[in-house]
Chains A and B, each alone.
Chain A
Amino acid sequence: MFILKNALISIARNKGRNILIGIIILVIACASTIALAINNTASDLIDSYQSTYDKELTITFNRENMIKDFDFSNREKMEDMKNKFDNVSSYTISDVEKFGNSDYIESYYYTYNVSLNGNNIDKAESEVSNNSFNMPGPPGSDKGMRSSKTSYDFTLNGYSSLDAMSEFIEGTYKMVEITDGAWDKAFDGNYIFINEELASYNNIKINDTVKFEDESGNIYKFTVIGIYKENESNSSGPSGLFANSANTIITNADALIAITKAHSSVNGFVDPTFIINDYADKDKIQAEFYDKGLDESYAVETNEEVATAGLSSIKNVQSFATTFLIITLVIGGVVLFVINAINIRERKYEIGVLRTIGISKSKLTIQFVSELLIVGFVALLAGAGIGAAMSKDVSNSLLASEINSTKESSEQIKGNFGGPGGFGPMEGNSPAKDFAEKGRPKVEAYESIDAVVNIGVLLELLGIGLTLILISSLASMISIQRFTPLAILKERS
Chain B
Amino acid sequence: MKKNNKILLSIKNASYQYNDAEEGEYALKNVSFDFEKGKIYAIRGRSGTGKTTLLSLISGLERCTEGDIIFDGKNLKDVNLDYYRSHDIGIVFQSYNLLPFMTASENIILSMDASGLKVPNKRTTTLELMKSVGLKESYANRKVLRLSGGEQQRVAIARSLSYDPKMIVADEPTGNLDKQTEEEILDIFKNLAHKEGKCVIIVTHSANVCDQADIVYNLKKVA
Is B222 positioned at the interface, with any CB of A under 8 Å from its CB? no
Q: Is the pair B110, A486 in contact by a Cβ cutoff of 8 Å?
A: no
Shortest CB distance A6–B (Å):
7
Kindly count the residue-residue contacts between A and B in the assembled complex, taking CB atoms under 8 Å apart: 55
Q: What A residues does B111 contact at CB under 8 A?
A: 357
Q: What A residues does B62 contact at CB under 8 A?
A: 484, 486
User: Contacting chain A: which of B68-76, B88-96, B130-138, B177-185?
Assistant: B88-96
Q: How many Å lie between the Cα of A480 and that of B91 in the bound state?
A: 21
Q: Is the pair A358, B87 in contact by a Cβ cutoff of 8 Å?
A: yes
Q: How many Å lie between the Cα of A359 and that of B99 in the bound state?
A: 14
Q: Is the pair B114, A484 in contact by a Cβ cutoff of 8 Å?
A: no
Q: How many Å lie between the Cα of A353 and that of B110 in the bound state?
A: 11
Q: Is the pair A360, B61 in contact by a Cβ cutoff of 8 Å?
A: no
Is B212 positioned at the interface, with any CB of A under 8 Å from its CB? no
Is A226 positioned at the interface, with any CB of B under 8 Å from its CB? no
Please report which residues of chain A, range 308-358, place their CB below 8 angstroms from some CB of chain B when the two chains form the complex. 350, 352-358
Q: What A residues does B98 contact at CB under 8 A?
A: 353
Q: Is the pair B94, A357 in contact by a Cβ cutoff of 8 Å?
A: no
Q: What A residues does B102 contact at CB under 8 A?
A: 9
Is B82 positioned at the interface, with any CB of A under 8 Å from its CB? yes
B contact face: mostly helix, strand, loop, or mixed? helix
Q: Is the pair B97, A358 in contact by a Cβ cutoff of 8 Å?
A: no
Q: How many Å lie between the Cα of A211 and that of B111 in the bound state?
A: 105
Number of interface residues of A (CB under 8 A): 23
A358 touching B61 in the complex, CB below 8 Å, given contacts A350-B99, A492-B95: no
Q: What A residues does B126 contact at CB under 8 A?
A: none
Is A489 positioned at the interface, with any CB of B under 8 Å from its CB? yes
Q: What A residues does B85 contact at CB under 8 A?
A: 356-358
Q: What B residues does A356 contact at CB under 8 A?
A: 61, 85, 91, 97
Q: What B residues does A360 contact at CB under 8 A?
A: 82
4 A-B pairs closest in CB distance: A358-B86, A2-B113, A358-B85, A360-B82
Interface CB pairs A-B, < 8 A, 24: A2-B110, A5-B113, A9-B102, A13-B101, A352-B97, A353-B99, A354-B110, A355-B82, A356-B61, A356-B91, A357-B91, A358-B83, A358-B84, A358-B85, A358-B115, A359-B114, A360-B82, A361-B82, A486-B56, A486-B62, A489-B95, A490-B52, A493-B94, A493-B95
B residues lining the A interface (CB < 8 Å) = 52, 56, 61-62, 82-87, 91, 93-95, 97-99, 101-102, 110-111, 113-115, 159
